[in-house]
């Protein structure tokens, strides 16, 4: 995967736990593009977002966000530069977390 003007680059992403959740995902989001991730319950939407934000480590493949490659950069720092809108965000937050801490953590 080559670095470029992409905001998100995913190549050969596989996420497997008890079963395969995501398989062979290749995706690129360029600057200025807007995407919506749609699908049935259990289709992997939340898992994809969790992988992109470093909360769900991939089994295989490569993820690059804002020029940084997963596994080669501290994604806790990267999350401060990411805005994510999802109804599943509450699942990633600790109970009692303040709104400010949630926004700052990405």
Which residue carries 């699908």 as its tokens? 39
- State which H helix or E strand residue 65 sits in: strand 60-65
Residues linked to residue 69 through DSSP beta bridges, in sequence order: 64
The residues spanned by each domain of the chain are 6-105
For position 2, what pLDDT does the model report? 53
Q: How confident is the model at residue 63 (pLDDT cuts 50, 70, 90)?
A: very high
92's tokens: 């990633």
The DSSP string of 8-36 is EEEEEEEEESSSEEEEEEEEEEETT----
| pLDDT tens, position by position, 2-58 | 555 899 999 999 999 999 999 999 999 999 998 888 999 999 998 999 899 888 999
Q: Is the pTM of this model over 0.75?
A: no
Please give the residue that has the higher pLDDT: either 86 or 76.
Answer: 76
The pLDDT of residue 77 is above 90: no
Assigned fold of 6-105: Rossmann fold (3.40.50)
Contact 63, 19 (CB under 8 A): no
């Amino acid at each position: 995967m080559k670095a470029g003007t992409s905001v998100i680059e995913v190549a050969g992403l596989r996420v497997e736990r008890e079963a395969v959740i995501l398989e062979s995902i290749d995706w690129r989001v360029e600057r200025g593009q807007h995407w919506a991730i749609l699908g049935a319950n259990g289709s992997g939407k939340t898992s994809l977002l969790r992988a992109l934000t470093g909360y769900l480590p991939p089994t295989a493949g490569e993820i690059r966000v804002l020029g940084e490659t997963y596994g080669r950069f501290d994604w806790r720092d990267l999350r401060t530069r990411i805005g994510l809108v999802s109804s599943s965000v509450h699942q990633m937050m600790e109970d009692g977390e303040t709104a400010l801490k949630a926004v700052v953590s990405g």
